Amino acid sequence: MIKTLITIVGPTAIGKTALAIEVAKAYDTAIISADSRQFYREMAIGTAKPSKMELQAAPHFFIDSLSILDDYSAGDFEREALAKLDDLFSYKNVVVMVGGSGLFINAVCEGLDELPRPLPGIRESLNEQYKEKGLTFIQEELKRKDPDYYQEVDIHNPQRIIRALEVYESTGKPFSFFRRDKSNPRPFQILKIGLNTERSVLYNRINKRVDLMMQQGLLEEVKMLIPYKKRPPLLTVGYAELFDYLDGKYTLEAAVDKIKQHTRQFAKRQITWFKKDSNTHWFEPSQSTEIISFLTDTLK
């Protein structure tokens, strides 16, 4: 059998973890997490990490592998994940990778774009603009200067926005201009499975997941992370809104509503990102049996 990486993608709350475990068990193999927020040990409830029981159902890698004090990039993940795959493929024919972080999925499957070196001082200037004028300002700047990337990026992640603006300010060309046209060859084949469903069903799943996170103690988790709230991993949906609540900007009810709203917006962007890949085979999350059959037939 040709060495194969089965990659499971789709929007948040669609059921990727459950499917990944089912596929890993079917092929007696391991799972590489490509969810960039699940790397961090301190972030558990707000990242919807697999439960202890789920982690025991199949070997997982790259979950709880970092601290929020660590600096870590998609390039770091590309290098480390490829090394881990090389090891796993020495005794497995199939490995599963799962996640909703499109940039990190692409890093492993295709390689990263070769971005130009930024000019000195631009990052500092953009960080200052963000600090003084807020997230809405840099969102609008990105929308004006790079509308294509604006449609894909997690617009509630200021670090991603600032990186794109940094490229634009350094080169006069949008970040999307430098997107890779050709993939780096990999020594394994890649089978991509996408999960999606009707928008109303997905949004209902998201709303219920946020409510469950709050019941599980998300607010208490966020309170423990107050000293680190400026760290890039925490400038994301589910954490930023509750930091704002604790700063007195919203009521708790309004903050939870914003988490739901921002998560739904993020899910929409994830779908836009993953739908651009014509090699992805799409299924409903309830079709796990059909997915396993499809994989078995394809890998014969």
Contact between 179 and 276 under an 8 Å Cβ cutoff? The reply is no
* Shared domain check, 198 and 152: no
**90 shares a domain with 194:** yes
Ligand-binding annotation for 17, yes or no, is: yes
Residues 6+ apart with CB under 8 A from 279: 190, 192
Q: Into how many domains does the chain fold?
A: 2
The model's pLDDT over 101-121, given as tens digits with 9 standing for 90+, comes to: 998 999 999 998 777 888 889
pLDDT at residue 182, as a whole number: 64
DSSP state of 177: G
- The Cα–Cα gap between 69 and 72 comes to 9
95 with 185, same domain? yes
12 is in an annotated binding site: yes
Q: What is the pLDDT of residues 124-136, one digit of tens each?
A: 999 889 889 988 9
- Residue 133 known to bind ligand: no
| 11 carries a ligand binding annotation | yes
Any idea what the CATH number is for the domain that residue 87 is in?
3.40.50.300
Is 168 domain-assigned?
Answer: yes
Q: According to the annotation, is 271 in a ligand binding site?
A: no
The whole domain housing 290 covers 4-112+180-298
| 45 and 156 fall within a common domain | no
State pTM to two decimals. 0.89
Q: What is the pLDDT of residues 205-256, one digit of tens each?
A: 999 999 999 999 999 999 999 999 989 899 999 999 999 999 999 999 999 9
Is 243 in the same domain as 171?
no
Residue 180 pLDDT class (50, 70, 90 cuts):
low
> Are residues 223 and 78 both part of a single domain?
yes
Tell whether 117 is covered by a domain. Answer: no
Whether 166 and 187 share a structural domain: no
Q: 3-class SS at 282?
A: strand
Tell me the CATH number at 170.
1.10.20.140
Q: Are residues 184 and 172 in the same domain?
A: no
What per-residue confidence (pLDDT) applies to 274?
Answer: 95
Task: Confirm whether residue 10 is marked as ligand binding.
Answer: yes
